[in-house]
Amino acid sequence: MNLFQVLILSLVEGLTEFIPVSSTGHLIVASRILNIIPSAFLSSFQITIQLGAISAVLFLYWKKLLLNKEILLRVVSAFVPTAVIGFVLYKIIKNVLLENILIVASALIVGGIILLIFEGWYEERESDIDLIENIPFKQAFYLGLFQALAVVPGVSRSGATIVGGMMLRLKRKTMVEFTFLLAIPTMLAATAYDLLKSAGDFAVGDWQSLIIGFVASFAVSLLAIKWFISFINKNTFSVFGWYRIILGALILLFVYF
């Protein structure tokens, strides 16, 4: 990949990682638009570039995660099912799902419809869970199962967790912050495992692309996280549901017509 392609993909990653629209789906679509030839490195790049975005979360939330035992234990509880499912399905995810544009478009549309349905049903109550440390461990585990649905490109890790948060009666800000924190071990593990499997095949230029992508996605993610928290304090997730449906439909039209 050239520098322009690396920067565009990094920008897309930073903007979409934490909102419920599927960063992986956007990276796949952006790669097609930029005429980047599918390769093992591109698949690794799409996984590894998320490390920059996750580092932005760690930069902003490290005290809450590492210095609060109750929060840390709940994040670990939610991470377990994601780790197991991701490990078992690693080869399918990388070699099959990450290359299927039809799956991405379909998941975007279906996920958008589900998000709109749940927004129509969900109304934040005073009794809803308002602190991460108050989430029961069983519910934290269930949230991890919801996040695991995002092994399908286009589903959205944050989107799946947010829908789970609605079902389990978390307040909007709480479910969003939990998706941020849960992303840290999830993406660190995914990136480390992929690098362990693939790093030996990378050329010098590939490592340069990864470093540039890491820095760029980190910087963009810092801004995106702060914006998303501010946005959700005043708005619902409905706009993201409509965006997903429209984008998925446009992808299908582009591919098949």
Domain span including residue 230: 3-256
**Residues 57, 63: Cα–Cα separation, whole Å:** 11
Burial 226-252 (b: 16+ CB within 10 A, else e): eebeeebeeebbeebbebbbebbeebb
| Residue 152: how many other CB atoms lie within 10 Å | 22
**What CA–CA distances, in Å, run from 177 to 40, 60, 119?**
32, 11, 18
Give the model confidence (pLDDT) of 22-74 as tens digits. Answer: 887 888 888 888 988 877 777 778 777 888 888 898 899 888 888 889 999 99
**Residues 6, 45: Cα–Cα separation, whole Å:** 9
Confidence at residue 63, expressed as pLDDT on a 0 to 100 scale: 85
Angle between helices 172-198 and 157-167 (to 10 degrees): 140
Give the model confidence (pLDDT) of 78-90 as tens digits. Answer: 999 888 887 777 6
Confidence at residue 216, expressed as pLDDT on a 0 to 100 scale: 93
108 pLDDT band (50/70/90 cuts)? very high
* pLDDT exceeds 90 at position 163: yes
Number of domains forming the structure of the chain: 1
User: In percent, how much of the chain has pLDDT > 90?
Assistant: 40
